[in-house]
Amino acid sequence: MSSPKRVRTIVSAAAVSLVWCLPLSAQQHAGLTGTDPDFAALFARIVQDDQPDAGMPEMITEKSKSDSDVMAVGYEPPEPSGYEPPELSGYPAPQTCCPQSSCCERSECCAQSLCCSPRVWAEVDYMSVWLEGFYVPPLVTSAPAVAPFAGAINNPNTTLLLGNGQLADERRSGLRLRGGYWLNNCYALQFEYFGTQNSNESYNFASAPGAFVFRPFFNTNPAVNAQDGELADTIGVSASSSFHSASAHLRKCLQCCCDPCSDTCSRLDGFVGYRHISLDENLTIGETASVPPNTAIAIRDEFDTENQFHGIEFGLHAKRRKGPWGLDCIARLAVGNNRETVRVAGAGVVNTPPAAPLQQPGGLLGQPTNIGKFKNDAFTIIPGVELAVSRCLCPNLRARVGYTVMYVSDVVRPGRQIDFAVDGRWLDPNFVPPGAPPATRPARRFVESSLWVQALNIGLEYSF
């Protein structure tokens, strides 16, 4: 038997054997039962060497066919006719990522809008501000009776009514306005104003039987006046504080990374510019006293301080958005000059009718030795941090709540400018300065301190 015929015989026999071994159900499915020839007889005819089998299809009949011809012979599935896949109904469409274009058009409330830089933005915040109060020495005391050294600080029978603590430290309302304009996708101009409601405090005291009020001090010349407390009919103390800040910056986008499919974006901006801070405060102490016979005395001391800071400020503004939620963090540092001004005033009036009122050159803590206006320039550092959590309400509007803290390294404040020591000769209406030796107390003081400003804020941000 030749080789081609042997190959044909082996292949054909294997095919017949495979079909024969199939289960009946499979043969029926393939159409190989019923009218098909007897498989045993067919197999016998296949193995004959001298006759080709006419009942089997011939796969290769000529040795001369090339390999390409052999490869071309094979099974090709029939073309489907009239079949169309059924349409799916009732199933939701697959979810897609928030498209970059829709966010840039501000038509979606998604995180990618963070990197699209709307041209104009404006922010307004209501601030609940705590501004650190200023220290004052003991200002008002009381004693059960008028006696030597009554009302003095070191007297065990003295009760402190006001002082040796802070004034103007109550919570106050404030407002912050912030906005800007993007010149292009990288640079913007931004502006800010932050101001607080003026803090005004007032305290009034009056003497009563068994509870006399005094203004304490330390007498440096007890040989003239041995008292360390001045008796008064009424004493009034008022304190005020005003704080304002403004800035203008050039802002630059340093980095912006967005993941559209997770709707998450992070952005980092840097800014540099000008910062101004103003802090104006006042402390006024007034008293009235009646000295028999038929004499009325009115005394007033006033301590004013003013701080005007001008400097350069730089910082970073980091933002992160996850869907409609956002987190903002601002770190800033300002350095520059603070023009510090201290003004001390004191005056007294002695009224003894029918004589004309007599004007005195000073009060109690404000005397000719320290009355005047003094200025100083101080290098000042002002770091600050802001944190805010926001949520998108609609494509152009976000609501947010946050916390702000600021530290001012060098300021002048009223209470620190008080010299608690007084030359007792100033309390003698007949004393004519400078005297012998000249009076030196109370002395001029120019004492600096620091300032903390903290605030909780809630507000809105609008951009377009």
In the chain, what is the straight-line distance between the N-terminal and C-terminal CA atoms, in Å? 92
DSSP-derived 3-state class of residue 424: helix
Among residues 157, 272, 276, 282, the alpha carbon closest in space to that of 210 is found at 157
Under CATH, which number does the domain 105-290+306-342+374-463 receive?
A: 2.40.128.100
Task: For residues 444 and 96, give the distance between their C-alpha atoms in angstroms, rounded to a whole number.
Answer: 74
**Backbone phi and psi for residue 348, each to the nearest 5 degrees, phi listed first:** -145, 150
Q: Which of 268, 377, 249 is nearest to 321 (CA)?
A: 268
Question: What six digits make up the tokens of 43?
Answer: 């197999």
In whole angstroms, give the CA distance from residue 136 to residue 154.
Answer: 17
Of the candidates 365, 375, 325, 322, the one whose C-alpha atom is nearest the C-alpha of residue 345 is 365
Reading the chain (464 residues) residue by residue, the pLDDT tens digits are 555 555 455 545 545 444 444 444 444 444 555 444 454 455 555 555 445 444 444 444 444 444 444 444 555 656 556 656 555 455 444 433 344 433 433 334 555 556 666 789 999 999 999 999 999 999 999 999 888 888 898 889 999 999 999 999 989 999 999 999 999 888 999 999 999 999 999 999 999 998 999 999 998 887 666 678 889 999 999 999 999 999 999 999 998 888 777 778 889 999 999 999 999 999 999 999 987 778 889 999 999 999 999 999 999 999 998 888 999 999 999 999 999 999 999 999 988 888 888 888 889 999 999 999 999 999 999 999 999 999 999 888 999 999 999 999 999 999 999 999 998 888 776 666 666 778 889 999 999 999 999 999 999 999 88
Give the per-residue pLDDT at 59.
Answer: 46
As beta bridge partners, residue 401 has 389, 458
The pLDDT of residue 95:
39
Q: Where are the domains of the chain?
A: 3-71, 105-290+306-342+374-463
d(CA 151, CA 104): 72
Q: For residue 437, give the amino acid letter.
A: P
Model confidence, pTM: 0.72
What distance in Å separates the CA atoms of residue 97 and residue 104, rounded to the nearest whole number?
A: 14
Question: In the 8-state DSSP scheme, what is residue 157?
Answer: T
Residue 260, preceding peptide bond in cis (omega within 30° of 0):
no
Query: Which two structure tokens, joined as six digits, stand for 127?
Result: 């601030």
pLDDT attached to residue 228: 86
d(CA 171, CA 169): 7
Q: What is the pLDDT of residue 196?
A: 95
The pairing of beta strand 234-259 with beta strand 264-291 = antiparallel
At 263 the pLDDT is: 77
How much is the pLDDT for 373? 95
